[in-house]
Structure formats: C-alpha cells, structure tokens
C-alpha cells in the first residue's frame, strides 16, 4: 500500500500549472520547428515531446524539493524490491493488452456504424512512415520516457493527493479519466481510461511506482513490436 504522502495542495496546484504551461510551450516549439523540420514528420513530433517531458521532469524535481524528498522516497521506488516491481508491472501490462485492443476495435466499429469517421492516429501514421532513426527516436520518447513522466504525474502526485484529502474514489477514477482525456483520441479513450484505473490500482497495492511504470512501458512498447511484425492494430 502507498504510504501517506501529504503532498501540499498549493504545491500540487503549482505543479499542475507548470505542466500546463509546459504543454503550451512545447506545442509552440513544435509548431515553430515544423517549417524547418518538415510537416507531418517525426522530428517535429519528437522535439515537442522532448520539450514537454523535460519541462515536466524539471517541474517534478522542484515539487519534490519543496517537500524535501528524493525521487525514491517520493515514489517508493525501492518498496518490495526493484526486480519484483518490474516483473509484476510487465505481467500486468501484457495481461491488459488483449482487452485494450479488443475495446479499441469494438468502440471504433461502433462509432463507424454511427457514421463517425475514424481517421488513422497521427502518431501511428508518423511511426509507420518514419525511417529506422525516426522509429528509434519515437520509441525512446513514447515507450521509455513518456511512461515515467505520466506515471510520476498522474499516479505519483495527483492520485495520492486526492486520496489523502479523503477522496479515494475520485483519486482512482479522476486520474483514470484525465489519463484517457489527455491522449485526445475517441477510439482509445475508453481503453486508456480503464488502463489508467488499473495503473492506479497497481500503485495503490504495491506502493512502488515502478509497478505501473513497467506496465505502462510494456503497453507502449506493444505497437512497436506489432509494427516490426507487420501487424497494424490502429483504425
């Protein structure tokens, strides 16, 4: 179980504001770089992600320093052992994959039956069209860095903040819904929301953020493995 963190609400608000500013600035950086790096390609997308992730990690560092905590202490990275945490997370991520792709297919089929056109995901299109260097860069940002950043923010800070204020259900479902919404895609909103709920449960029961991080890395790695096998799962 996660120990009580007692994150100060004012510091959580400051962190969220910094993240929102970072989101806007990274978007502007990507837009300004697009004419130089080419529209619709992987360099501008990776640049935007690097700017966003870097700013969020710096903001998290300031947040932890304001509470006089290190990364391991703040996120329980040594609770229960590193190997066990990673192994549990990988198994959980693999177990959820069939359900996630099944939900995505079912929801996409239902929306198309209602006449809602489901274009291919931009990130997937860029990944498919990228060369080896581009795919490596996208993999590094999307499958390795993004899970850490998102888990530290959603599960590491927001979830225990709401829980410690006496709102355990809001902590679970609120972070799950926010996780689904930030990815801004109708066909994956439900599976990602369910996945966000699962990630919060993994953190709640293990007390070690490495468990949801490992599950998240496994989940984000799956599209790259499927692409290497010549399998397309996007609509």
pLDDT digits (tens, 9 = 90+) for 138-175: 999 999 999 999 999 999 999 999 999 999 999 999 99
Specify the pLDDT at position 123. 67
User: Stretch 94-112: mean pLDDT, rounded?
Assistant: 90
User: Stretch 47-63: mean pLDDT, rounded?
Assistant: 95
List Cβ neighbours of 83 (8 Å cut-off, separation of 6 or more).
none
Choice among 16-25, 99-108, 129-138, 226-235 with the minimum mean pLDDT: 226-235
Greater confidence (32 vs 201) lies with 201
Q: Is residue 128 scored above 80 in pLDDT?
A: no
Specify the pLDDT at position 232. 62
């Amino acid at each position: 179980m996660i120990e009580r963190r007692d994150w100060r609400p004012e510091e959580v608000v400051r962190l969220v504001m910094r993240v929102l500013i970072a989101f806007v600035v990274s978007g502007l950086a990507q837009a300004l770089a697009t004419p130089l790096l080419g529209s619709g390609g992987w360099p501008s997308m990776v640049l935007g992600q690097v700017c966003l992730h870097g700013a969020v990690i710096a903001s998290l560092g300031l947040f932890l320093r304001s509470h006089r905590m290190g990364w391991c202490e703040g996120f329980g990275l040594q609770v229960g052992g590193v190997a066990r945490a990673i192994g549990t997370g990988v198994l959980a991520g693999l177990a959820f994959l069939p359900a996630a792709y099944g939900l995505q297919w079912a929801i996409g089929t239902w929306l198309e039956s209602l006449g809602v056109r489901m274009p291919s995901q931009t990130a997937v299109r860029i990944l498919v069209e990228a060369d080896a260097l581009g795919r490596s860069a996208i993999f590094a940002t999307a499958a390795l860095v993004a899970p850490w950043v998102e888990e530290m923010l959603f599960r590491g800070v927001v979830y225990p903040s709401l829980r410690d204020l006496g709102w355990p259900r809001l902590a679970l479902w609120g972070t799950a819904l926010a996780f689904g919404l930030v990815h801004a895609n109708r066909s994956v909103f439900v599976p990602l929301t369910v996945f966000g709920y699962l990630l919060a449960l993994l953190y709640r029961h293990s007390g070690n953020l490495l468990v949801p991080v490992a599950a998240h890395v496994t989940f984000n790695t799956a599209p790259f493995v499927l692409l290497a096998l010549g399998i397309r799962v996007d609509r």
